[in-house]
Amino acid sequence: MDIKKIRQDFPILGEQVNGKDLIYLDTSATSQTPLKVIEAMNDYYREYNSNVHRGVHTLGTKATDAYEKARMKVRSFINAKRFEEIVYTRGTTAAINLVARSFGDLVIEEGDEIVVNEMEHHANIVPWQQLAKRKGAELVFIPLEEDGTIALDSVKAAMSDKTKIVAITHVSNVLGTINDIKSIAEIAHAHNAYISVDGAQAVPHMAVDVQELDVDFYAFSGHKMLGPTGIGILYGKAELLDKMEPIEYGGDMIDYVYKTESTWTDLPVKFEAGTPMIAEAVGLNAAIDYINELGIDNIYQHEKELVAYAYDKMSAIEGIEIYGPGKDKRAGLITFNLQGVHPHDLATALDSEGIAVRAGHHCAQPLMKWCEASSTARASFYIYNTIEEIDQFIESLEKTKEFFSYEF
Amino acid sequence: MNFNNLNQLYRSVIMDHYKTPRNKGVVENGSMTVEMNNPTCGDEIQLTLNVEAGIIKDVKFQGEGCSISMSSASMMTEAIMNQPVDKALEMAAEFSNMMLGEDYHITEDMGDIEALQGVSQFPARIKCATLTWKALEKGFKESEKI
């Protein structure tokens, strides 16, 4: 792949930050947007902006077609069986909340157990905590291995007759751990439990086939996969979505409204009350086209090379601590701490060099406790990053370390 | 490559407070304890004070955070030690003005706190510097209610 050519598709990569060329190493927070996505949304607003599923005029039909075409695109991208299984949401967080609220309330009873673990993003812990509180259920934590992975035996040990739901991330946004979702789904199903997966850090970076994984629910976001903010996807098996109650009510999601009661329309629109994110669906469609053109496996390979290179270079820095599994077992991100430099100070120093990294608790406070750190820094990579950028990053890390070790 | 603009932020007096914090710890049998965190970054601070007849007789801090938040706390404890509560609250207001880039009035008897003036040029870090002062204001506001 010609990364230089790919970079030209991303206008923002030509920006300067603090007088330096931008080096964007914060894709795990949000990815950058290629011109094709920006233009697709631009065209929508300039040429056929209109509401969907309403009225009969030409623009309305065009907007509805684009909105539903995007759904078909998502369906084939993750190989869902039916388009009814693809629900648009505001993002991964909203998708998980929909599962925890609607499906959770349906199947969880007092004394039941919900299996989670410490590597989860707050978006995949807090909704389950709240469900457990509403129902008097228990959260059971699968212990993590020392290298930040999850052993299948530990998953099995966490299961009991009371387990109803296993909620787990596909890829950790802090450790870079790639969980064996297929095997974990098998274990969950063998115990008559359901599995709900946070795929926000997986779908942008590796081929995901929801039928192959045999997951019950799978959530991800548009803005982490070259698409716009404000749109995400909940995949759910049709027979489960069918049983679930909506959690938002209003226009579009009804079948018929009487004075004192109403009935709901079919999947998936039952869960899409109100005017949806139409421009964002158009953008997501263009983002998937762009990923398909490059090839998701090529993207995965490129990130693997970048992360292996960065891992070796970073490991050689004295006083660095890297969290999570070794370079062969991780996704394209590295979370670390440099001895004697607080991550915020590190991020400010790197920012002055035009390098964007994340610093903080990464919305994973239980995991920070597990790492025995109050805060960490994270560099994350994507299709548009280069080996040269990593060299610059390493050089700046060394310089930052020197700056803060200086006796002021 | 150089870090010239960083020197403006990380002045030596700041790093001195960070590496050798003043008044770090807990005031035993203090009259007031307040905790505050910055949920976006995970910084945490705890202040314990002993206030007698409106005068801050003793103050200590402990917490977790970056050089800016921790040095700011260290500087604040020096500035408000043995000062009337009203004066400490005035300082908090002036410090906030300084961070917002507005006119401020900070005098020599307020110790080193003016050294953080450069932080106002780094919008992403202003909250680090103000955390300890916000905690102080919160503490006094809560003790008023009692």
In order of their start, the domains of chain B are 4-145 (3.90.1010.10)
By CB atoms closer than 10 A (0-12, 13-18, 19+), residue A47 is: exposed
In angstroms, the Cα distances linking A316 to A26, A233, A311 are 22, 40, 9
Residue to substitute from B7, B10, B46, B112, interface A, most A β-carbons within 10 A: B10
Residues of A in contact with B42 (CB under 8 A): 360-361, 365, 368, 374-375
* pLDDT band at residue B110 using 50, 70 and 90 as cut-offs: confident
Looking at chain B, which residue has its C-alpha nearest residue A404?
B15
Intervals of CATH 3.90.1150.10 along chain A: 3-32+295-405
pLDDT score recorded for residue B92? 97
Q: Average model confidence (pLDDT) for chain A?
A: 96
Among the options A142, A200, A215, A363, which is catalytic?
A363
For helices B67-80 and B85-99, give the axis angle rounded to 10 degrees.
150
CB contact under 8 A, A360 and B68: no
Which residue is listed with tokens 């800016």? Answer: B68
* pLDDT band at residue B1 using 50, 70 and 90 as cut-offs: very low
CATH number of A3-32+295-405: 3.90.1150.10
CB contact under 8 A, B66 and A343: yes
Mean per-residue pLDDT for A110-117? 98
pLDDT tens-digit readout, A238-260? 999 999 999 999 999 999 999 99
Backbone angles phi, psi at B64, to 5 degrees: -130, 130
* pLDDT band at residue B145 using 50, 70 and 90 as cut-offs: low
Euclidean distance between CA atoms A62 and A356, whole angstroms: 39
Please indicate whether residue A371 is annotated as part of the active site.
no
Mean per-residue pLDDT for A179-188? 98
Mean per-residue pLDDT for A119-128? 98
pLDDT score recorded for residue A407? 53
Q: Average model confidence (pLDDT) for chain B?
A: 91
CB contact under 8 A, A349 and B3: yes
Fold of the domain spanning A38-292: Aspartate Aminotransferase; domain 2 (3.40.640)
| Cβ count within 10 A of residue B134 | 17
pLDDT score recorded for residue B143? 83
Look at residue A110 and tell me whether its pLDDT is greater than 70: yes
* pLDDT band at residue B2 using 50, 70 and 90 as cut-offs: low
Looking at chain A, which residue has its C-alpha nearest residue B15?
A408
Residue scoring higher pLDDT (A364 or B8): A364
pLDDT score recorded for residue A80? 98
Looking at chain A, which residue has its C-alpha nearest residue B13?
A408
Query: Which among A344, A368, A403 is the nearest to B6, CB-wise?
Result: A403
By CB atoms closer than 10 A (0-12, 13-18, 19+), residue A60 is: middle
Q: Are B85 and B54 in contact (CB under 8 A)?
A: yes
Mean per-residue pLDDT for A167-172? 98
Residue B86 sits at the chain A interface (C-beta within 8 Å): no
Residues of B in contact with A26 (CB under 8 A): none
pLDDT score recorded for residue B4? 62
pLDDT score recorded for residue B48? 97
pLDDT tens-digit readout, B22-75? 999 999 999 999 999 988 777 899 999 999 999 999 999 999 999 999 999 999
CB contact under 8 A, B64 and A368: no
DSSP string, A234-303: EEE-HHHHHHPPPSS-SSSSEEEE-SS-EEE--TTGGG--SS--HHHHHHHHHHHHHHHHH-HHHHHHHH
Q: Measured between CA atoms, how close is A107 to chain B, in angstroms?
A: 33
Mean per-residue pLDDT for A185-198? 98
Residues of B in contact with A399 (CB under 8 A): 1, 3
* pLDDT band at residue A340 using 50, 70 and 90 as cut-offs: confident
Intervals of CATH 3.40.640.10 along chain A: 38-292
pLDDT tens-digit readout, A65-88? 999 999 999 999 999 999 999 999
